[in-house]
Amino acid sequence: MIVVLQAEVLVKQAGVAMDAVNHEKAVKLFEKALSIDPDAVDALLHRANLRMLQQNLPKAEEDLKRCVELRPDHVLAHLRLAAVLSSKNDQAGAKKHLEKAEAINPNSSEVQSYRGELLFTENDFDGAKGHFEKAMKLEPKNPTPYVNAALAELNTPPQAGEQMLMAQKAIDLLEKALEVDPQFNAAYVQLGQLKLGMSKDLSAAEEVVGLYETGLENCRTKEEMKELCSMRTLTQAQVDAARALNMETFNMS
């Protein structure tokens, strides 16, 4: 029991290190946890997540296969393994683990989200939206399905006269993502790009600068801050250049 608790403490410390983007420290803490308890599923799962971030997919796959061997009922491990296999173009293997996860918990929002992501990669955007909508209903406070549904909306070939309506629907979804999680960086990035592309005048573009500034106040990591800072600086530079040229819009025609 003491051994298990020691491993759990180390995994939590590794999670803190990951949040601080100190991956080297996190790796050492995971290794220490697994030296104490080689069957610590949480350590294997979170180390696999780190290895996925580091693009070390073969090692991530090893950890995840060990996870599902130890805990065949671990939904998240099956889904992570499905993602790794999909990235290797092993769609049959990915679908097998997705189906196992769904059999364990058909009402999991993560299962529905991953089904949507899989259909998205196959360009079945309507099917993807359906699963993202199910994920939203199952877990309304999770921002990820809202962003994914917005991207599916934007990638759906529009019917005549529906392009602006679809863009507005995507904006609504992205704004909802930020409502449920004001720190969700991906929503700031996608919403800013979409609103800037739809800006009819410079005041609308300046609102995008304000959006990025709000995002900068809510960043979780230095990488997120760097990305939004770059986007804010570029947008502000475009606005300033347009004003210097006495332009009211970015339209050069």
- What pTM, to 2 d.p., does this model score? 0.83
Tokens of 26: 């996190």
pLDDT at 21 over 80: no
pLDDT at 53 over 70: yes
User: CA 16 to CA 211: how far, in whole Å?
Assistant: 28
Q: Which of 5-9, 37-41, 65-69, 86-90 has the lowest mean pLDDT?
A: 5-9
Tokens of 166: 């679809």
* Chain segment 176-204, per-residue pLDDT in tens: 999 999 999 999 999 999 999 998 889 99
Q: How confident is the model at residue 172 (pLDDT cuts 50, 70, 90)?
A: very high
Q: CA angle, 44 as apex, 41 and 45 as ends, to 5°?
A: 85
Dihedral, CA of residue 151, residue 157, residue 162 and residue 166, to nearest 10: 0
Range 240-248 contact pairs with CB under 8 angstroms and sequence separation of 24 or more: 242/202, 242/205, 243/202, 247/202, 248/201, 248/202
- Determine the pLDDT at residue 2: 55
What average pLDDT is seen over the chain?
91
Q: How confident is the model at residue 253 (pLDDT cuts 50, 70, 90)?
A: very low
User: CA 12 to CA 18: how far, in whole Å?
Assistant: 10
- Determine the pLDDT at residue 159: 82
